Chains A and B, each alone.
Chain A
């Protein structure tokens, strides 16, 4: 009896089942990471988030082209006189006028005006916002990366040594976590400012000092879970040194959730930074920083119906910036949450 033997290249079968092409990117990233990247490129929230952040990145990079710096220190906002009242939008710029940038021709105007008006003391709001974007990135990234590194090292050491070392280290974290973060940072920054001098440093140091505990808890928990996996036992069976197991085998498997957490935190850090700056801690008066611009509006809170622009524009940009990072964080969480799978 004749039997059909399935041959290796069964064309019928090949046509029936469409073979999914695996591109180079997918091969490189692996299916799981590829799915994450794809998910991030498809959700509206993450597109909006990434666009916003990209928008601010461009502003920060091209700040000197958008508003050329006036004095030697580009971060000091130029003042058009010393009047205490804020001047409305479109007021002509008389003193300390910046050079006309490339885009000025489009406006059809002949003279620089205060596009977003001036704040109290006649600081130019537009200039402050554009250059303040750099401060926001600078502070946000440095604080987040430092807290992240500090938290990861601390948490890894605690998880790695375990036992009473872990106990003591994590109790210290518990104690520090009890303190209300921004208030503690405010006090530390207020103590540090006279010692270091007015700049972005005291506030950043204070935010780092009270910001790392969350990461250390997070990474510790993940390390403790990864430590019990079979492949870690397999690595020990092969005779890999403990330190190498921690850094080569455990950390790469445990670090991802912590990185997501950090990406969500950048917006919050910038907000705290602006908040401290608004309260008058940290940078010297006239430094291009959004919190500083907002603090100029403090004395005019009762007459904001006239001077709305002194708070609306810096506030608007701050909100957009924080929202951008939060949208990215939300999108990352959605893509990584197994319960949300297949729902977007």
Chain B
């Protein structure tokens, strides 16, 4: 498969804590094609960010540890690379933006300096070239008067502008993949829309692949080609985006979609919510991690952890129950 940009296989990450070993990521596998946008959805603490951080080897070790798995990027395993090699992948070929733009920029360095850093590191530009390119990047993400504003410090920028700067920084070396770790969560709704539009526009211009982590299913619907739903460190459903919204199959996905407020709701009804909270993963789960919160749960769910099985073309689910009929899947 030559068009596979990224191929993650059986990634497992644990964290050693005073209370025991937390199994944060439990054998996650997914792929990313060139030009594709992958939405990663799930509640807080279900392993979305840790998966991405493990892939780029950004988790602190110790206490974190990548126990197993591969992350093939152009056929090369990111997890086996030397520190020097992975450093060039980070920023050079895989860019990343974060949830909170207010804290993601260094307060003592000017915006210009922070933008020029990756350019000089990875592309080998001179100071002057980097300055020009940094100004280009700033205007590309829609910051007016760019060359003047390069001299400003982060505190002189608003939250939305800082996220634009982060995007500019992540894209500065024209990476093949942009990992967006809940980039709109900390912004207000209008700015959210602006940032999503900006990323869409840049994706079409540059033609990069995107991994968009979020818990906002609405954003994913308009942006992603394919969606991966995570729960308790597992991928529990994976599907093409339209199919997922038309035909959610895992109880958790059904719950997630059910808890979205709808415009076409007839009466005033209470918003649906999934009872309970995500599991704390002190033990390596041997049962379905969602079983305690699942209304379809049956005996098998408590004993065996289901694997991802195809239910339709481009649609795989990890569940013992056929949620349409309520009977065990044959």
Contact = CB atoms under 8 A, between A and B. Distances in A.
Q: Per DSSP, are chain A's interface residues mostly helix, strand or loop, or mixed? A: helix
A30 B108 CA distance: 10
B58 A239 contact: no
B103 A229 contact: yes
B117 A240 contact: yes
A234 B58 CA distance: 10
A248 B109 contact: yes
Given A238-B121, A249-B109, A253-B107, A30 B155 contact: yes
Contacts of A239: 87-92, 118, 121-122
A235 B90 CA distance: 10
A231 B106 contact: yes
A207 B39 CA distance: 61
Contacts of A32: 155
B96 interface: yes
Nearest to A248: B109
Contact-residue bracket for chain B: 20 to 34
Interface string B192-204: 0000000000000
Nearest to B106: A231
Interface in B166-204: 166, 169-170
B55 to A, nearest CB: 12
A241 interface: yes
A98 B151 CA distance: 56
B234 interface: no
B150 to A, nearest CB: 14
Interface residues of A, number: 20
A230 B103 CA distance: 6
B136 interface: no
Nearest to B115: A238
Contacts of B103: 229-231
Most chain B CB within a 10 A radius of its CB, from A32, A230, A249, A252: A230
Contact of B91 (A233, A238, A253): A238
Nearest to A232: B106
Interface in A194-239: 229-239
B155 A237 contact: no
Interface string B103-136: 1111111000000011001100000000000000
A240 B96 CA distance: 14
A232 B117 CA distance: 13
Contacts of B166: 234
Most chain A CB within a 10 A radius of its CB, from B87, B89, B122, B155: B87
A326 B169 CA distance: 44
A101 interface: no
Interface string B81-104: 000000111111001101010011
17 contacts: A230-B98, A231-B106, A233-B58, A233-B98, A233-B104, A234-B98, A234-B169, A237-B91, A238-B95, A238-B169, A239-B87, A239-B89, A239-B122, A240-B91, A240-B118, A252-B109, A253-B108
Interface of A: 30-32, 229-241, 248-249, 252-253
Interface of B: 56, 58, 87-92, 95-96, 98, 100, 103-109, 117-118, 121-122, 153, 155-156, 166, 169-170
